[in-house]
Amino acid sequence: MNNMHLIFPEIFLSLSIMFLLILGVFKKNSFNIIHNLSLIVLLVTAVITFNETISVNEELLFSQSVIIDPLSSLMKIVTLLAAFIVLAISTNYLKTLNLHKIEYSVLILSAVLGMIIMISANDLIVFYMGLELQSLALYVLATFNRENLKSSEAGLKYFVLSALSSGLLLYGCSLIYGFSGSTNFEIIASQLDSSEYALTFGIVFILVGLAFKITAVPFHMWAPDVYEGSPTTVTLFFTMVPKIAALTIFIRFLYVPFLNLIEQWQMILIFLSIASMLFGAVAAIGQTNLKRLVAYSSIGHVGYALAGLATGTNDGIQSSVIYITIYILMNLGLFSCLLMMKRNNEYYENIDDLSGLSKNHPMLSLSLLIILFSLAGIPPLAGFFAKFYVFKTVIEQSMYFLAVVGLLSTVVAAFYYLRLIKIMYFDEEKEKYDTDHSIWLKFSLTASTLLILIYFIFPSQLIEVVSRINIIQ
C-alpha cells in the first residue's frame, strides 16, 4: 500500500504501548521511566500525525474503512496534545495520593489509541473497535484510586452505564448493517433510501450511545458522580479527551452515511442540544463540589457543540470543532487551578475552599477569574468567540429558537461562574495553599490563561485550520 505512512501514528502508538507494558512488568519501580517515556510517545505521535497527515485532503485506506482528512488530522493532534498535558500535570498529584503506578500512563495511552482509531473510522466495525479500546481503559482509570470508596463507586457506575450504552451502539450498528448490507459509511450512503424508516431506529440507537459518551442530556446521569469520584487528573481526562473523539464520530456518522436523512436526526440533535444547555446551566447552581460543578458545566458546553452540528452545514461542523478546541483549553486552565489547591499533601475541591483566594494567591485567582469569565462567554475572551461562531451558524440557518435557548442558558450559567468569582474575591480568606507546583502545572495554567486572553488578537489562525474541514461535498 502506497499510503501506509498515513497510519504510522496508530502503528507507532500501538508498538509503544506494548513496549512500555513489557518494560513496566520486568523493571520494578519504573513509574518515572514509564511516565516520561509515555510523554515522549504522545509528543512523537503528534509530530508524526502532523508531518504525515496534515496536508492530506482525503485518503481512504483498508477498503475504505479508515479515512484520513483535515478533520481526522486536526482532532488527532488536539487529542494527543490534550492527553500529553494531562499526563504531564498528573505526576505530583499521583505521587501525593500514592497512585504512581505504571498502569496509569499505559491506560491513558491505550485510551488515546482507541480515540484516534475512532477519529479515523469510516466503518461501523472500526468505529466500534476504537470505542471499546477507549472504554476498557477508561473503566479502569475511573476506579484507579481503589482505596477510596467514591472512586470505586464511580468506576462501577461508569462501567455499568457505559456497557449499556455500548450495547445500544452495537445494536444500532447491527440494525444499520442489516438494512443497508454494509458497515462502510460510503457504501451505506450510496445504498440509502430515504424512505427506509427501519434505518432511523439504527440511527437513534447509535445516537443514544454516542450521547452517553459525550454526556448529553438525558444520558448524562453518570457524569457528576464519576467526575467527583475519580482522581482529579482522571476527571480532567474525562472532561476533555473522549469528547473530541465522540464529537468527531458524531460528525462522521451523521454527515457521511446519513446526510439524506437529516430531517430524521436533526430533531434529535436539537433536542439533545437544548436539553443539555438548559440542564447544564440550571443543575450546576446548587453544587458545592467543584468537580461536580465542572460535570454539569461540561454537560452545558456539550449542548453548544451539538447546536453547531444540528445545523446540517459545513459551517456548523466547523463552529463545533472550534468550540470543542476552545473548551478543552478552558478546561485545562480550570483543572490546573484545581490541582494547585493543595495544602499539607491534601487536595481541596469544594467551592468553599476558594474562599478569599485572591488575598493569598492573587495570580492564581486572576487566572481563574479569566478562565471563569471565558467559560461564561464574556467578550473578548476565547469562550465568547466559541459561542459566537456556534450562534452565528445557528442563526444563519434560521434556527432562532435554538439560538434563544442557548443565549438564555449562557445567562443562567454566568450566575454560578460569577458566584465562584464572588467567593474568591469577597469572602474571608483561608489558610494559604502550597506553592511548590511542578513546572508543567505552572506552564499549563499560564499557557491556557494567556491563549484565552489573547485569542481575540489572532482568531483567524484557528479558523484557517478549521476551514479546511468540508465534510459535505
| pLDDT tens figures, 208-245 | 888 888 888 888 888 888 888 888 888 888 888 888 88
Q: Residue 353 — pLDDT band, cuts 50, 70, 90?
A: confident
Average pLDDT value for residue range 42-60:
84
The reported pLDDT for the residue numbered 364 is 85
This prediction's pTM? 0.92
Using DSSP, state whether 400 is helix, strand or coil.
helix
| 17-29 pLDDT, tens digit each | 999 888 888 887 7
Q: Residue 193: is its pLDDT beyond 70? A: no
C-alpha of 413 from chain center: 20
Q: Residue 15: is its pLDDT beyond 90? A: yes
As a whole number, the mean pLDDT across the chain is 86
For the chain, helix, strand, coil in percent to 5 are 75, 5, 20
The reported pLDDT for the residue numbered 30 is 81
Average pLDDT value for residue range 391-408:
88
| 94-111 pLDDT, tens digit each | 888 887 788 888 999 999
Q: What is the DSSP letter of 329?
A: H
Q: Residue 196 — pLDDT band, cuts 50, 70, 90?
A: low
Q: What burial class does residue 161 get, using C-beta atoms within 10 Å of its C-beta: 0-12 exposed, 13-18 middle, 19+ buried?
A: middle
Among candidates 192, 137, 416, 374, which has minimal Cα distance to 290?
416
Average pLDDT value for residue range 431-446:
84
For residue 160, give the H/E element and its range: helix 149-180
The reported pLDDT for the residue numbered 1 is 57
Q: Residue 70 — pLDDT band, cuts 50, 70, 90?
A: confident
| First vs last C-alpha separation in the chain | 26
Q: Residue 194 — pLDDT band, cuts 50, 70, 90?
A: low
Cell of 163: 456497557
| 354-364 pLDDT, tens digit each | 887 888 888 88
